[in-house]
Amino acid sequence: MKKRFLLFVFAAILQLSLKAQFSSPTIITQPANQTGLCPYQWAQFVVAALNADSYQWQVSQDSGNVWSNISDDYITYLGATNDTLQVFASQNVNSFLFRCIVYGSSGDSVISDSAILMLETQPPTIQSHPSDVYIGMFGTADIMFGDVATATDNCGVIDSTVTPGQLDCSYVGDTVQVVVSASDISGNVAYDTTYVVVHDTTPPTAIPNMTGFAYINDTGTAYVEQSTLLLSATDNCGVADTIIYPEYFTCSDVGTTQNVNVILVDEYGNADTTTVPVMVMDTIAPTIQCMGDTVINLPPGDTVYTVPDFSFDPVVSDNCGINQTFNSFTMSSTLNGAQFPEGTTQVVWTTMDNSGTSASCSYTVTVNAVTSMQLLETGINIYPNPVHGMLNVEDNGNKILSVDLMDINGRVLKVKKVKTEGLYEFDTSLLAKGVYLLKVNTINGAFVEKISVK
């Protein structure tokens, strides 16, 4: 009896084993959709089945029309012949369908439902706000995303832009609309608009010279030029105005060093002040003009010629004034009263201004002893002498250039003078009695004759 029972149990077990071995596979858990995924992570599709002997996962790129077997490449797919398929989520597999063929030991199979892999489609969230932007040293304002907005995303923001991203000086003072965008790792993009106000608060930049120079001109004024003060003057938006103070100096400043302020102002009122030491200089030499070479013919009996006035002195001038003038004959500032002996004397005049710049000129004075007989020999006749009334100077050889009647000190007298052909007539009737000088300038030189008025 016991033996029969054991045979029955063995038969039952064998029957159940054979039944299980040759039953068709049955899927008890279908693959689930994988949606809202962030890229670059592994997604899992899982199938659970009874009587499963092997698995083969498939993929469709066209919404289920065509299916292809998957092989493990360890880059995109892993577990292609297991109950769990791992797919590396990216745009390359976005919206693909996946299913699994479950094979039983008897060779029959069953196909699971398809499941989709979908990346997340939620764009980033942008919070924008107005902002102030400032022109930089290169003349532009770069607008950064963080200056005008913030962005968040469940999978992370990978890029953000501002359009326009750069504004130049032409926008200073304007309110400019900008468009901001943010992209997440899934390729979703969000946009928003905001405003920026453009400012320029950067003052100009000046590079000064160590020392500037101002030169007195011929009118006695030295105007300060920017070129002598600054090596360069720059501004991110351009220098609009240059103010120099003080802008000029006079002769009283020659030889001193003065501080000059240079104020650079840009288009938007930003200013920079630089102080430069300026040396005031006078390099213009004085001018000096001498009379020409002179020949003096002495009256009979005279051996020296006494200069009666300042006519032998030069005419001098300077933009900042004369410091001293002297001659080589008497080493004084005038030849008035100087006595020239017979013969030729060279006179050199030198004038010097207050800056030590000098100029010179020269002439010769030739003194000859001349008798009345020599005048007659030249064809010149003076009569009567002594005189009361009309004094005549007769020129028979057309050699007279001019005739002047002077007092004993050499001052030319304003008396009535009549010139006719070959004859000069002087009315001496109103002159006081005494000795006068008659200077006759001829082509051969000057002759001086004493005249006695009764």
| pLDDT tens profile 17-49 | 444 445 899 999 999 999 999 999 999 999 999
Q: Helix and strand tally (H, E) in the chain?
A: 4, 42
Range from 74-83, 182-191, 345-354, 425-434 carrying the lowest mean pLDDT: 425-434
At position 27, the amino acid (one-letter code) is I
pLDDT score for 374: 52
Task: For residues 57-67, give the mean pLDDT.
Answer: 97
At position 393, the amino acid (one-letter code) is V
Residue 378 binned pLDDT confidence (cut-offs 50, 70, 90): low
Whether the pLDDT of residue 415 is over 80: the answer is no
CATH topology of domain 372-453: Immunoglobulin-like (2.60.40)
The DSSP output letter for 256 is -
Contact in structure between 452 and 435 (CB atoms under 8 Å): yes
Contact in structure between 210 and 189 (CB atoms under 8 Å): no
Whether the pLDDT of residue 69 is over 60: the answer is yes
Task: For residues 131-150, give the mean pLDDT.
Answer: 95
Other C-beta atoms lying within 10 Å of the C-beta of residue 104: 20
CATH 3.50.50.60 fits 125-199, yes or no: no
d(CA 321, CA 313): 17
Percent share of the chain, pLDDT over 70: 91
Closest by CA position to 33, among listed 102, 118, 112: 118
Range from 6-20, 144-158, 358-372, 422-436 carrying the lowest mean pLDDT: 6-20
Segment 234-288, tens digit of pLDDT: 999 999 999 999 999 999 999 999 999 999 999 999 999 999 999 999 999 999 9
CATH, domain range 25-119: 2.60.40.10
Q: Give kind and range of the element (H or E) at residue 175.
A: strand 175-184
pLDDT score for 300: 65
Task: For residues 183-198, give the mean pLDDT.
Answer: 95
pLDDT score for 15: 44
pLDDT score for 222: 95
d(CA 43, CA 74): 13
Residue 396 binned pLDDT confidence (cut-offs 50, 70, 90): confident
400 DSSP β-pair partners:
442
Task: For residues 424-441, give the mean pLDDT.
Answer: 85
Tokens at residue 124, please? 């980033």
**CATH value of 207-281 in 1.10.3470, 3.40.50, 2.60.40, 3.30.110:** 2.60.40
pLDDT score for 364: 95
- Torsions phi, psi for 5 (to 5 deg): -65, -40
Whether the pLDDT of residue 139 is over 70: the answer is yes
| DSSP per-residue letters across 384-449 | -SSBSSEEEEEESSS-EEEEEEE-TTSPBP---EEEETTEEEEE-TTSPSEEEEEEEEETTEEEEE
d(CA 214, CA 278): 7
The dihedral over CA atoms of 228, 229, 232, 234, expressed in degrees to the nearest 10, equals: -130
The dihedral over CA atoms of 324, 359, 334, 344, expressed in degrees to the nearest 10, equals: 150
Residue 37 or 380, more confident:
37
Instruction: Give the ranges where 299-416 is alpha helix by DSSP (H).
Output: 372-377
Percent share of the chain, pLDDT over 90: 71
Segment 306-345, tens digit of pLDDT: 999 999 999 999 999 999 999 999 999 999 999 999 889 9
Other C-beta atoms lying within 10 Å of the C-beta of residue 364: 12
pTM of the shown model? 0.59
At position 199, the amino acid (one-letter code) is H
Contact in structure between 266 and 239 (CB atoms under 8 Å): yes
